[in-house]
Structure 1
């Protein structure tokens, strides 16, 4: 390398070499990069409003709501913790507070539900919803929290953490902006926690009676008081009592019972009694909704169901009337958690009739098709094996951002759907859904979940060519997890199956990933052999993007091997190939590799151009690539110039909470 101070000085003082400009920094490439920058960030809503709608009726929590608002308005920087047992109404208070404060925070509201998500996944998910690119996300929980503080520094947001076991869990999500606020709803909190805290208790008897009367019709005050006294005045219990009363009033068979007869039921039987009063079609839908892969579902899925006694819409309205299902936001519904648990128990204890089993499979096919439509909205034209179900209808997506947001909201339910499909030997649906989910896993970092998904999908395939496809996904995820031996094993099996099937695209993909496996393990010569063969296949099949990717991989492998001249030639070819197909993201990445390489070779003007392109990486939000490029550029320099690039790399690694920051600090000592 040319690293002397004299050479470095000439680089800074000399005029840029014009042939270098014309070859790699010409207007077409620069315009393509700049035009594409705005499309590189992870899709995000302009102003997220994530808190669910408040339940109705809202009774006698105004004092607590006023206290919550007062704290948010007058105590900046001080989190508010609200505790209470399950069923006391914490989520209702959270939703009501968010609704009343919807115009208070210019950058919207974030809702983090720790009852349904672990801390690590929640931190990663909220960063993605804030629009932080996948490539920036750290691999550790501490790194994600550092990134979260950075991402919220210049925002004014209300952050509501619900479903926490202990308030200490929710306090991790305190935003760093002085104009933002955090409210945590938890079962409990340590006594020494230095926060403003409020404790929720059950409603007073008069308030509980008022809530029950507001949720029902035709109930006498004395009866309502007797019911509240017999059970308790938790809002959750009152909701169950009201649901049973409403279900009775809706039923055709009234048999003279009044609300007073509810006093004969133990509290644990309220839900059971509600289920038995439902019409056959509503009871059928109740059981079906319980075996959907997620508690929350899109109302449009009801179109695929036809109950034995008629259309599903009437049965659905009966469930809403009985407060077994709640509409949480436009187009979305929630099966009450206690309902879901009860209905799942019934599904285990009672044999599923054939028509219910058929409807269950139809619902899974609905999820498959919805995921396939999302995949196409995000990734456009790519290799796909599974057919799109023609027997179910579901709404399309407007664009990629909407589709990726749908995946983000449903990825856990979709993984559950794959498990359910395998359990019932619906193997075609299982691997088809896994194939569609690659659009999500390729853009959002959930490698552990992705590995589990494709392990299941591999076993669900029945055709060798489909198995080869799922093995490719599994091998790529294992590479991301640094499980190189496991990755190599499944990729070799994939390659063997692809060769037997004479499938050129699968052969090409398996070769490319085997090349990457060897490159990551430092076996550069073996990697070059795989990449070269993959390149020949891509060129033979006129797969222009695949060929460009192999050229890039060959350039990076030769660079890692120390053969900079050969690496430069491959980078130049890759740059031309990506420019022809107008792949702006890869044009930017290759420009960076090429500019830094030319700096290592001592080309006049290359250092300045490398700095410029690294600045474009920063604009694109590609922080990890930015930091890696700065570190490589530093290696080509000496003295203060070297130190300055390393300090910039350190700043980026620290900003995203990367463990690489420690290594850079050691280099700066």
Structure 2
């Protein structure tokens, strides 16, 4: 047995304080009352009977979901926003908004759980596990879940909350008959209501005679709310730029009707507004922050006045405080073109500036989340953007913009702006290290690898790619990426990059069960860390050496290495790794029969649970089970299974087999 000096008394005051401080820091931000449904539109007509029917359903005894279905542009999102505003007091725990038009179902479920304060390590690796976790998290809440943008109602019905006091509203294009669900069809507006809405939208605080031929115009263009909004935008744009009165504009539209309202509105804009609209339409996302507008002032146009012209024409609308939305049907097509075809020359310079804005904003978020870590990409000095107050705000921004940021990497790479492409990918590690988007991360770093020109930058991106491939259990691809990174690091003499590559190669061997090969690689990485004076890297290598010896069946050697790792992490005040190593030591001591070790292991597991480190919690319970028989073994395996059922379908299935 190892020397007893390795079996220190765990959780003395210094270590407990370190762990507690870090647990407090690492917990995911949980909003006390999420209010996620977008603000309702300013102008509203009709739909009162729909609102009243939804209110009666939500406040009545019927707990079944309500599905509102109708064609695109019929006003489903506006109805969702309106009812959510009216039902605020009825749902004291807030609203959860899931937009399936912006995210696939897996990403949307994962994102909702993260916004509810669930740590990344607690998230399942399967869609079914995520949904089960969603039901569990909402079991003790009274929330309104609003699912918008569904193609079919069946998609939204997956998000039924766990509490009977909660409500579920699904807004979908189509809905199959289902006796367990209430249905409501949303059609076009009646001609009189449509005319009132068109009058309100066209005048928007001004004066326009209701005696003008509004109804005749709607018989020509239709009464669907989306068509009314676009028609109003065209009328407002023409009134602003042509200085005509409403009567002349409406008469002209009746005599010379146009089918493409968006194109006609665009052609009515001033030159500066048209230029700005084209640029906004090729941003990585249809939704953008108002602070990005500052970068366009240097492009030879007055962005403030041009932007107001776009708002007046309703080509840009407010989506939430400080955020705007470009007309979706135009912006999505434009964004796809920006990633797949070359832009007109007049947009190229301005578009690169906008991507550099996204780069700098992501870099500032990265620094707020990750603190001091190795970074190679410089921060742009030619653009201005706001920073972040704390890590929680920064991570929330990264998460809510992850699709836009990933698109920006692809856009920059396509247009040959290589520094922006790989620099943005480097900053996004703050997101991918904390939020599970492995497939997106792999695509991002594959693009980034091809975008680098300097060998040392390429090695850095290969490390990120290899790490993501390990998470996806793509071991052969991961080892190829990591060997390439190591060879580059050796060629350029970068010992830190070399050490990182060797460490990850060790993990690849370790996770595949090749323990002696892993130990040899970890020893190389430890030597590199000691030579470079990098204490945290030293502690990590000692920890992995201890785990590799443990998994190879050499617990005494494992204890020696883990005790050394603990000394390093306590010295540098790395609370998270102190907790992980203390847990490993306590479990090992229990397996070796050290008196009191089982109680210490249970205390460590309690701290893991508080920290949200679910996978480590389950692994500790399962390793403890190996040292027991009978009912004690079963109890430990059942505790591991309870955690695995939330986070890993494969691991849960394996533990169920162990339980028989």
Equivalent position SS for 2:284: coil
Hey, what does 1:280 align to over in structure 2?
Answer: 271
d(CA) in 2 for partners of 1:568, 1:350: 58
d(CA) in 2 for partners of 1:27, 1:344: 55
Hey, what does 2:154 align to over in structure 1?
Answer: 168
TM-score of the superposed pair, with normalisation by structure 1: 0.94
Equivalent position SS for 1:305: helix
Matched, 1:234 2:224: yes
d(CA) in 1 for partners of 2:446, 2:497: 18
Q: 2:169 aligns with which of 147, 166, 183?
A: 183
1:347 deviates by 7.5
Matched, 1:329 2:320: yes
Q: 2:442 aligns with which of 429, 437, 451?
A: 451
Hey, what does 1:84 align to over in structure 2?
Answer: 70
Q: 2:80 aligns with which of 65, 72, 94?
A: 94
Deviates more, 1:415-424 or 1:301-310: 301-310
Matched, 1:65 2:40: no
Q: 1:35 aligns with which of 21, 25, 30?
A: 21
Matched, 1:103 2:89: yes
Alignment of 1:592-631 (within 5 A): 592-631=583-622
Equivalent position SS for 1:288: helix
Unaligned runs of 5+ in 1: 2-16
1:70 deviates by 1.6
1:106 deviates by 2.0
Q: 2:393 aligns with which of 391, 398, 402?
A: 402
Equivalent position SS for 2:641: helix
Unaligned runs of 5+ in 2: none
Q: How many residues align?
A: 654
Q: 1:286 to 1:613 in 2, by over 3 A?
A: same
Higher relative contact order, structure no. (Cα contacts within 8 Å, ≥ 6 residues apart): 1
Contact 2:460 2:485 in 1 (8 A): yes
Contact 1:287 1:344 in 2 (8 A): no
d(CA) in 1 for partners of 2:121, 2:404: 24
d(CA) in 1 for partners of 2:540, 2:100: 40
- Per-residue Cα deviation, 1:554-586 (whole angstroms, up to 9, x for no partner): 010011111111100111111111111111111
d(CA) in 1 for partners of 2:140, 2:270: 53
- Per-residue Cα deviation, 1:466-514 (whole angstroms, up to 9, x for no partner): 0000000000000000000110011001001011111121011011101
1:40 deviates by 2.3
d(CA) in 1 for partners of 2:552, 2:387: 47
Contact 1:297 1:333 in 2 (8 A): yes
Contact 1:146 1:656 in 2 (8 A): no
Deviates more, 1:114-123 or 1:34-43: 34-43
Matched, 1:360 2:351: yes
Contact 1:209 1:225 in 2 (8 A): yes
Q: 1:514 aligns with which of 505, 508, 516?
A: 505
Hey, what does 1:123 align to over in structure 2?
Answer: 109
Equivalent position SS for 2:67: strand
TM-score of the superposed pair, with normalisation by structure 2: 0.96
Hey, what does 1:4 align to over in structure 2?
Answer: none
- Per-residue Cα deviation, 1:640-667 (whole angstroms, up to 9, x for no partner): 2111111111222224453322222222
Deviates more, 1:468-477 or 1:249-258: 249-258
Equivalent position SS for 1:164: strand
Equivalent position SS for 1:659: helix
d(CA) in 1 for partners of 2:173, 2:650: 34
Hey, what does 2:656 align to over in structure 1?
Answer: 665
Equivalent position SS for 1:306: helix
Matched, 1:632 2:618: no
Q: 2:415 aligns with which of 418, 424, 428?
A: 424
1:38 deviates by 1.9
Hey, what does 2:485 align to over in structure 1?
Answer: 494
Q: 1:267 to 1:121 in 2, by over 3 A?
A: farther
Deviates more, 1:75-84 or 1:174-183: 75-84
Alignment of 1:189-200 (within 5 A): 189-200=175-186
Q: 1:276 to 1:80 in 2, by over 3 A?
A: same
1:282 deviates by 0.4
1:196 deviates by 1.1
- Per-residue Cα deviation, 1:620-640 (whole angstroms, up to 9, x for no partner): 222211111101001011222
Contact 1:213 1:221 in 2 (8 A): no
d(CA) in 2 for partners of 1:441, 1:349: 25
Hey, what does 1:306 align to over in structure 2?
Answer: 297
1:613 deviates by 1.0
Q: 1:243 aligns with which of 233, 241, 257?
A: 233
Contact 1:160 1:184 in 2 (8 A): yes
1:89 deviates by 0.2
